[in-house]
Every structure is written in structure tokens, then in C-alpha cells.
Amino acid sequence: MRALTVIGNWKMNGSVRSNRDWMHLVIEDMQQGMPAGRRFGVCVPFPYLQDCSAHLAGSQLLLGAQDVSAYASGAYTGEVSASMLEEMGVRFVIVGHSERRMQYGEANESIALKAEQALDHELIPIICVGETADERNSGRAVEVVRRQVASQVSTLQDRLVDCLIAYEPIWAIGTGKVASAQMAQDMHQAIRLQLAEFDDDVASHIGIIYGGSVRADNATELFAMPDIDGALVGGASLDAKEFLAICRS
Ligand code: PGA
């Protein structure tokens, strides 16, 4: 049985004060009880990790970061290493988000190295994959995602089982255009079948979560799909009540 995982991604939003209000609300509400067998997390900007770590300690909400260096340490100005994240109490880290692939030229190879660094420090990498609108409209969505996944398989091999894959169609991110639950399910199934060509055990145990305009009003339908194991939630995670409603969907 794969645990349903719901992760918020604040992106470059927040302030010490608004973060604390958000955490206060979410932690208190979660104490009322959450559906069993689920994991919850929130990926916050680097400067807030320490404060969020202190506030989330002992709660049901795990801490996440939004990126990690592909290197262990050294002369990499501006980078943050996996060991630093581990020290901050981080449990999840997003790698290869489409915003980083597109705006910062991140390539599959360095994304796999980032995932390796994360795994070396007991962090769960959330490896993002997904196609653009053009790629979908020209019938190449599966081919594009397969290539992204294949590159992770070739580096990470069976360590992939300790990662999460987030399928995030780029045209659905921050646009309000959610993929239909069936469309998402079809891609999740395609990814799982691809992984089964490599290793049945990895394919059946790895969590594949969906991201792209997830809200409380579409989460239930998505979570009901057999190959959708949770969600990576951007915009809607900024609103504590909406995030909680998705966590309970
Ligand atoms: P969104 O973002 O929920 O705002 O579409 C998802 C993501 O980028 O992870």
C-alpha cells in the first residue's frame, strides 16, 4: 500500500509572520485528526527553513525545501547542500521543478545528481516531470515524460524507490487548468509501466503524485485514481484552509 502524500510548495512566497500564522492554523487543525495512512509536508523558501523547522517540530506536517545542490560542498556560491537541509530537519526536497528547468536551464542529468545528494542525506527527493502544452497538443506528452523518467532511472537505478515522482504538466501549473483526473491517471500509469520495464518492485512501491492547479474541489477525484498517490500543491497551498481541505480530500 502506497501512502497518500500531500505536499505544499510555497514557491517564492511568504514572510516570517505570515508563515507562522499559516503553520499555527494548519498544525492546530491537524491535531483534530487527519485521515490515517497519509503524509503531509510543506516546501518553504530556504531562509525560512529554520524558523519553520522549529514551529513544525512534533507536528504532523513535515518540512520540505524547493531545491538542493547537485554537489556535496565547496565553491558553489548561492547553493544549498543536502547536508545543510538535513541539519534543518528537512524531509522532502523538490528537484527539477519545471520553473527551474525552464527559467534556470536545469537538465535531467543535474536533477538526477540533486536527487542522489538528497538520498545520501535521508531526504526524499520529489522529482518533477511534465510536458508543455505544445508537446501535449502535438501528441508527444508520453514520449517527453518517458525521456525525463528514463534519465532518472539511468542514474538512480533502484534508489528511485525512495523518491517521489511528481507529474506536473507545465500547462496546468498556476493556470487553473487542471488535467482531468483520467488524463493524469493515464500519465501516472504510463510512468509506472515504464518503471516496471526496469524493476517491478520500484514500479509498485514508488509514490507518483500529481501537480498542477490542484484545489480542494478537484483533489478528491484525483486521489481516487489508482496510480495517483497524492499531490504537489502550489498556489492553493498558500491558503491554510484550502491546503487543509486538500489534505483531507
Ligand atoms: P500550482 O503549482 O498548484 O500553483 O499549479 C503546482 C506546482 O508548481 O508544484
The model's pLDDT over 164-220, given as tens digits with 9 standing for 90+, comes to: 999 999 999 999 888 899 999 999 999 999 999 999 999 999 999 999 999 999 999
Active-site entry in 97, 131, 135, 188: 97
**Across residues 124-145, what is the average pLDDT?**
98
Per residue in 163-178, pLDDT tens? 999 999 999 999 988 8
Per the annotation, the verdict on 97 as an active-site residue is yes
* Per-residue pLDDT, 177: 87
C-alpha 214 – ligand 1 centre gap (Å): 7
With 90 as the cut, is the pLDDT of residue 56 above it? Answer: yes
Q: Residue of the nearest CA to atom 6 in ligand 1?
A: 234
In this structure, what are the phi and psi dihedrals at residue 124, rounded to the nearest 5 degrees? -95, 110
For the purposes of burial, counting CB atoms within 10 Å of the CB of 17, is it exposed (0-12), middle (13-18) or buried (19 or more)? exposed
CA dihedral 229, 231, 214, 189 (to 10 degrees): -40
CB 169 near ligand 1, within 6 Å: no
For the whole prediction, is pTM greater than 0.85?
Answer: yes
Non-local CB neighbours of 37 within 8 Å, separated by 6+ positions: 1, 3, 4
Cell numbers given for 183: 488524463
**Across residues 65-85, what is the average pLDDT?**
98
Pocket-testing residue among 93, 210, 214, 215, ligand 1, by greatest number of atoms within 8 A of Cβ:
214
* Per-residue pLDDT, 210: 98
* Per-residue pLDDT, 179: 87
d(CA 8, CA 127): 14
With 90 as the cut, is the pLDDT of residue 228 above it? Answer: yes
Non-local CB neighbours of 245 within 8 Å, separated by 6+ positions: 216, 219
- Cα angle 178, 226, 193; round to 5: 95
**Across residues 32-54, what is the average pLDDT?**
97
CB 9 near ligand 1, within 6 Å: yes
d(CA 85, CA 64): 9
Per the annotation, the verdict on 55 as an active-site residue is no
d(CA 7, CA 237): 8
